[in-house]
Amino acid sequence: MAAPNKSLSTALNARTIGSGNETIVLSHGFGTDQSIWYKIIPLLAENYSLVLFDWPFSGAVKDKNIYDHAKYTSYEPYADDLITLLDEMNLKDVTFIGHSMSAMIGCIASTKRPELIKRLILVTASPRYINIDDYIGGFEKSDIEQLISTIESHHEKWVSVYPSIAVDPNDAVSVDKFQNCLKNMDAEVAASLAKAVFYSDYRKILENVETPCTIIQSSNDVAVPLSVGHYLEKKIKGVSTLEFIDMTGHFPQLTAHLKLVEVLKGVVGIGSAAE
């Protein structure tokens, strides 16, 4: 945990970029840090106030003791961290953009403190990765078990191979970007985090999410099949819309950033930020 005299927002490298009446929180996902948004930051900072931070698992967080393996076994502690961060920064009524695991974290936080988040934008989100009954999450349990085993036993090999699976392999710069983020993350943390993410099941939380949502899915994402986007749209209680970006991979902020920004500006609107 962070030292008593050190705020969580400081420990998580929270910062604000840009200006505007509209505040957008950019929350990164598995294995990355806030730098994963580098392509879209200058395009959004012209009109909006952007809040960025690093999750405790991130290699960019200097205090390695902040990641407690016994604590971060589910998304709930992350949601509590998000709430604490927003409170410390005196923020409410924000637009929360959550990539990958952060999407579900934002959903959980919105059910706990609805006044903090007025709009959820869920980017390549999944409430569950493992297939079960009539739900298609994209993986069999044995697939996930093999993935975890590889992270634990052959971490360096996993770091060298996984990025070209998760990111469009034709975009070498973006593959390298994700790979460098993975390299910066502690090997034991990577294994612990992977278990929390890939064994998660947050389908039931969706019926409690009343905050308006925009679901942004990749048209070809090995981690999140198209059916998951339709599932989210159907199960989320609040008003939700589904947008597909024609691209390959799990990282539209890297490989299809102009398309992503176009969708984001269409959802948030520029007028409210520039008034």
Half-sphere exposure of 76 (CA within 13 A, CB side): 7
The Cβ of residue 275 has, within 10 Å, a number of other Cβ atoms equal to: 8
Could you give the C-alpha distances from 151 to 49, 108, 141, 237, 275, in angstroms and in order?
37, 27, 16, 36, 48
CB burial class (10 A; 0-12, 13-18, 19+) of residue 183? Answer: middle
Q: In sequence order, what are the residues at sequence separation of 6 or more whose Cβ sits closer than 8 angstroms to the Cβ of residue 242? A: 215, 217, 229, 230, 232, 233
Picking from 261, 194, 189, the residue whose alpha carbon sits closest to that of residue 223 is 194
Pull the structure tokens for residue 115. Answer: 């006044």
| Structural contact between residues 190 and 182, judged by C-beta atoms closer than 8 angstroms | yes
Instruction: Compute the distance between CA of residue 75 and CA of residue 71 in angstroms, rounded to an integer.
Output: 10
Residues making up the chain, counted from first to last:
275
Residue 58 φ/ψ, nearest 5 degrees: -65, 145
Active site residues: 100, 221, 250
